[in-house]
Amino acid sequence: MISEAEQRLINLLKQDVRASISDLARQLNISRATVQARISKLEKAGVITGYILELGKDYLQSFITAHVLIAVQQKLSSKVSADLLRIEQVSEIHAISGDYDVIAVIKAKNTEMLSHILDDIAMFDGVERTNSSVILETKKNSL
């Protein structure tokens, strides 16, 4: 369990992961050493597992995003997941329940590229069927 003070630190890092220790300390009204100690504690506890590059909205809007539902033969599930991971444009893979087994999120530069990727996925050994939805607009994208 994390403290309220640690949660405030996490919230600040979510806003700007590149914020300096000094800036964080100033915003939290605590010492730099305390900020550094809390970050180290959160990293050791596995609460913070890394720092990522967040791409800008204008750049991301230059891509076409699609959610691809994939029904998979159960005995080939691991192979299909490995095949999906080899596709550069696949940004996420989720195991799901229901009529389909996997959702792959694809970010392609254009519809032609998306079409080729969808054809490739349909040809993977173990893929029974797919159903694709192109994202037209995102209303909210945060926790």
3 to 58, 97, 139: CA distances (angstroms): 36, 34, 31
Domains and CATH numbers, the chain: 4-44 (1.10.10.10), 57-134 (3.30.70.920)
Task: Read off the pLDDT of residues 28-58 as tens digits, 9 standing for 90 and up.
Answer: 999 999 999 999 999 999 999 998 887 787 8
User: Residue 91: what pLDDT?
Assistant: 93
Phi and psi for 92 in degrees, rounded to 5? -150, 150
125: confidence class by pLDDT, cuts 50, 70, 90: very high
- Taking the C-alpha atoms of residue 106 and residue 88, their distance in angstroms, rounded to an integer, is 9
pLDDT value at 9 more than 60: yes
- Residue 42: closest CA among 24, 66, 29, 67: 24
User: Residue 54: what pLDDT?
Assistant: 79
What is the rounded average pLDDT of the residues 108-131? 97
CB-based contacts of 93, cutoff 8 Å, min separation 6? 81, 84, 85, 102, 103, 104, 105
- Residue 25: closest CA among 8, 2, 41: 8
User: Residue 21: what pLDDT?
Assistant: 96
User: Residue 143: what pLDDT?
Assistant: 56
pLDDT value at 140 more than 80: no
Q: Tell me the pLDDT of the chain averaged across its residues.
A: 93
Q: Which residue has the tokens 């998979």?
A: 72
What is the rounded average pLDDT of the residues 53-80? 91
Q: What is the DSSP letter of 126?
A: T
